[in-house]
Structure 1
């Protein structure tokens, strides 16, 4: 039977990648000024920056609901497909639970908890899409991609912790100290949760390169099939410098893919955040 790959909107894959691999998206929601809008369709990161600048607070986000999933899953099942659906980590959102509830009702749907977010999730989605193109069954894709989630390495370096403070993820004192000392924290995704990593210090452009160096240099456990550079509102110069640093350290990556982070990472981390995301062997 044909297999349809679906993801929620937090995977941060570009329109070009979604079209190339025929991946469908179920949007989460962003709530601003008492209006609920669909992530990526009715609201974009630029809207979040504007909202925060104007209101001094973050918008809230909410999960795709069971009804959303029932509509999508039923549609593709009626077209003769089995479905493999990928979600943001169940520790971040109730989206995964809602997808599982709908999948149980519809049948023929396998739901992968990515244990990640952004293109950490996107890496699993693309792997599943390639397996589907190779004719693998939905069960095979589900099992292999679930195992793969344990090998995905996702992290971001953050220019300012203002958004982390506004979101209640650090204290006012910690925010004041970080800004005073020009600290740039690294946020790592481990065991399905966001955790604080190393704190860098100095200019963000230089910090980005140091971060890439420490993530990649001297390692022999990296799958060189692809790596993502995922960022929020970073300059073209900084992104290109990161790309060149990756090529310097690991010239044998088959793909270096750049994507702009969507509303989830934007809401958590704010502008000028950049991460490199890849799979370990």
Structure 2
């Protein structure tokens, strides 16, 4: 029996990949006007971004302890080995809840094998790790072989992204009100990455056309063997620009394999419409 791969909705994988690789996705929640919606269940990203453009300020909530516990128990009863691959613990409390529920379930089912892994990654950075793990599970690899690859991918995953409107990062406490105001006036686009699971601004560029070019330059500097990788692009309801980035990558690096998807509700609630992000490895061996 294959290892069961579980992830949360912060991985932003397309539904067709989730179905093909039999990944169990646990939804985070989005709260709008005191009403709670399951990420990708009761609320889809396109609907969320429309509400945000209309002035709504959503909040988010982690996966509930009960959801974790019931999911772990379901597969423990089937004698399945389990790996939960979590969205960065520095951006959400979800991983820590998963760890606590794992300990509870192991008290009831001490013979079970349950591993939880904090990727310190977000969106399709986490998604590429989940994709790799689920592909190996489908091939029948052992739990230790899969964990080794999860560890490698997590340690070498690059995130490079920009947001269309600094106001959303201001609401989430990522930039000051002055930075958001001045950035909006001057069309300044921040470029950020993820270091040790946290969002870190690395530079600012004026204008959206220049920011995409700069993202590609950073990718060129940090990436290795890019044409042989599966590269991911996530976007805040701007498929046109995501495809523009894809074409730039194909032309410059010869990349053939892409995963492209809209940023889900749990991350999009903080990054906002128009966000663009690219994910790739800085080491492949």
The answer as to whether partners of 1:213 and 1:249 remain within 8 angstroms in 2 is no
Q: Deviations over 1:233-264 (max 9, x none)?
A: 1142x22221111011110x341221111013
The answer as to whether partners of 1:187 and 1:194 remain within 8 angstroms in 2 is yes
Alignment partner of 1:163 out of 168, 187, 191:
168
1:227 aligns with 2:226: no
TM-score with structure 1 length normalisation? 0.92
1-structure distance, mates of 2:36, 2:43: 9
Aligned to 2:81, what secondary structure does the other structure show?
A: strand
The answer as to whether partners of 1:66 and 1:98 remain within 8 angstroms in 2 is yes
Could you say which residue in structure 1 is the equivalent of 2:74?
75
1-structure distance, mates of 2:18, 2:4: 12
The answer as to whether partners of 2:223 and 2:282 remain within 8 angstroms in 1 is no
2-structure distance, mates of 1:223, 1:173: 41
1-structure distance, mates of 2:157, 2:221: 17
The answer as to whether partners of 2:26 and 2:67 remain within 8 angstroms in 1 is yes
Unaligned runs of 5+ in 1: none
Could you say which residue in structure 2 is the equivalent of 1:130?
135
Could you say which residue in structure 1 is the equivalent of 2:277?
275
1:144–1:223 CA distance, 2 compared to 1 (3 A): farther
Alignment partner of 1:191 out of 196, 205, 227:
196
2-structure distance, mates of 1:118, 1:99: 18
The answer as to whether partners of 1:88 and 1:113 remain within 8 angstroms in 2 is yes
1:143–1:217 CA distance, 2 compared to 1 (3 A): closer
Alignment partner of 2:213 out of 200, 205, 209:
209
Offset, 1:86: 0.8
Q: Which moved more, 1:42-51 or 1:147-156?
A: 42-51
Offset, 1:135: 1.7
The answer as to whether partners of 2:160 and 2:279 remain within 8 angstroms in 1 is yes
Offset, 1:189: 0.7
2-structure distance, mates of 1:59, 1:178: 22
Could you say which residue in structure 1 is the equivalent of 2:30?
30
Matched residue count: 277
1-structure distance, mates of 2:185, 2:152: 42
1:39 aligns with 2:39: yes
Cα RMSD, aligned residues only: 1.9
1-structure distance, mates of 2:149, 2:68: 23
The answer as to whether partners of 2:30 and 2:38 remain within 8 angstroms in 1 is yes
Aligned to 2:85, what secondary structure does the other structure show?
A: strand
Q: Deviations over 1:39-93 (max 9, x none)?
A: 1101122333343344x45211111122111111111222331111111111111
Q: Which moved more, 1:31-40 or 1:72-81?
A: 72-81
TM-score with structure 2 length normalisation? 0.91
1:219–1:276 CA distance, 2 compared to 1 (3 A): closer
2-structure distance, mates of 1:76, 1:215: 39
The answer as to whether partners of 1:32 and 1:51 remain within 8 angstroms in 2 is no
2-structure distance, mates of 1:139, 1:217: 32
Unaligned runs of 5+ in 2: 107-112
1:225–1:219 CA distance, 2 compared to 1 (3 A): closer
Alignment partner of 2:122 out of 105, 117, 121:
117
2-structure distance, mates of 1:9, 1:73: 16
